[in-house]
Amino acid sequence: MSELAGRVALVTGGARGLGAAAAKALAADGAKVVVSDVADGSAIAAEIDGAFVQHDVTSEEQWIAAVAFVKERFGGLDILVNNAGIFWMKPIAMETLESFRRMQQVNVEGVFLGLKHAIPAIAERGDKWDGGGAIINLSSVAGIIGSPMMLAYNASKGAVRLMTKAAALECARGGMKVRVNSVHPGIINTPMMSNAAEAIAGASGVNDTMERFASFHPMGHLGRDIDIANAVAFLASSKAAFMTGSEMVVDGGMTAA
């Protein structure tokens, strides 16, 4: 219950979906949480007695402002959840250079900027916590295995997986008390996935996409947002004090096969 008491977290893309669930889980474990998003996340922030800051993860200026906001509001930063992300499915022939770059801009550059600007802030008081402060990057099963029509997303989530390891090593070897780990969800029922299913239905008339998505998991069903939020809260805590550079797969067995 109070595993994260005294710690302060920033969750990007926290207005809905996995970010909102992670923000709630961290708050339930005692952290003070700042929700950031391009969309309005003030309702989630109010629910958990936290704070909301408007923040586009592709903007370096807005990253600097968001980290400064967290420090000013709650006295420091101990946990960053790099969660904001975008997704679509397209055959390679339909992906444009512009759309490919946009996917990398949000999913890869957004995480890079988060690492760059949050690591120094988290390191400032990493000594306070057993295992130090923590960054959790939302990658995906798509960061481990490829899929047709997911070239741009695969590229972005594969990059997040290895940026996590590079940052983890740099922090550990550099004596900075910041652990960096990635989480790799299977398919979770969030607006991201219901919107994708709707887009597929609109383009092809196929209406059973969520059922097909569920069937990809040996456990036979989609994941729940709380399944991912629990992994995030664990990695943020001192229970994961010896974990850095690791990839936590939460996918109902999808990538075990």
Of 174 and 218, the one with the shorter C-beta distance to ligand NAD is 218
Q: Is 87 in the site for ligand NAD (CB under 6 A)?
A: yes
State yes or no: is 153 an active-site residue: yes
Q: Which is nearer to ligand NAD, 85 or 131 (CB)?
A: 85
Our finding on whether 83 is near ligand NAD (CB under 6 A) is yes
List the one residue from 167, 187, 229, 236 that touches ligand NAD (CB under 6 A): 187
By CB under 6 A, is residue 138 in contact with ligand NAD? Answer: yes
Half-sphere exposure of 44 (CA within 13 A, CB side): 31
Give the tokens for residue 153. 């997303």
As a whole number of Å, the CA-based R_g of the chain is 17
Of residues 228, 179, 247, 227, the one with CA closest to residue 7 = 179
Does 251 help bind ligand NAD (rule: CB under 6 A)?
Answer: no
| Residue 73 identity | R
Taking CB under 6 A as the criterion, the residue among 4, 31, 37, 123 binding ligand NAD is: 37
> Vertex 58, ends 33 and 86: CA angle to 5°?
80
| 158 touches ligand NAD by CB under 6 A | no
Neighbours of 60 (CB within 10 A): 13
Indicate whether 13 belongs to the interface with ligand NAD (CB under 6 A): yes
Contacts 24+ apart (CB under 8 A), 40-48: 40/15, 41/14, 41/15, 41/16, 44/14, 44/15, 44/16, 44/20, 45/14, 48/23, 48/24
Total residues binding ligand NAD (CB under 6 A): 30
To the nearest whole angstrom, how small is the minimum distance from the Cβ of residue 193 to ligand NAD? 5
Question: Which residues are identified as catalytic?
Answer: 153
Binding stretches for ligand NAD (CB under 6 A)? 12-13, 15-19, 37-39, 55-58, 83-87, 106, 110, 138, 140, 185, 187-188, 190-193
